[in-house]
Structure 1
């Protein structure tokens, strides 16, 4: 299990939308992935589209990190790419620890998932 999960809420900029789908994939594969992989370990990411539900946030980037320093390095790496404030506006960063309340009080974690 990861130490923390971060939700980076972003809004697409015109510079991103002007790219073809192939150009977007190439940009991600050549600009973001190598930058993050070269500087960070112990992280994983997932991406969610939200533009059909929200005008303020078009995508959510979910990062799971083994520790706070690893996530800090993700942000530092992303800031050095065109994805940060060129292709996307960073709307908000929300960082959370899964079931932090239950862990702090050493109690069972309420869940809707059947065991």
Structure 2
């Protein structure tokens, strides 16, 4: 899983909170990367024009989830198509339990009220 910069202005950002399964952790590291290359990477490439992924490890600080997959999507439909493809793999609720999905629009409060962004 590679970290990419978004080549478009995302219509939404989705934080997919996942937890590795015992089955996934039972694979060797080499086997995990083989599986990613065989099944996950082709989906990322297929949707790369409309959806990007950033991957965060959080198992050091959380017991509820081990990773956060942050998806930026050009539009809602593109994200939905990506999820449909992911659901057809063992990465969805077999190798990783999808614990929670939070979708949001970056800076919508400011855009909706035609106000400047509040940033640090």
**Fold-level match, TM-score > 0.5?**
yes
Task: After superposing the two structures, state which structure 1 stretch, 46-55 or 28-37, moved more.
Answer: 28-37
Please, which runs of 5 or more residues in structure 2 have no aligned partner? 1-8
Please, which runs of 5 or more residues in structure 1 have no aligned partner? none
Q: Which residue of 2 aligns with 1:62?
A: 70
Aligned residues: 112
How do 1:1-115 residues align onto structure 2 when only pairs under 5 Å count? Answer: 1-38=9-46, 41-112=49-120
Deviation at 1:41, TM superposition (A): 3.5
Distance 1:66 1:98 in 2: 12
Distance 2:56 2:116 in 1: 30
Q: Provide the TM-score with structure 2 as the length reference.
A: 0.88
Distance 1:38 1:4 in 2: 19
Q: Provide the TM-score with structure 1 as the length reference.
A: 0.92
Tell me the C-alpha RMSD between the 2 structures. Answer: 1.3
Deviation at 1:2, TM superposition (A): 1.3
Deviation at 1:40, TM superposition (A): 6.4
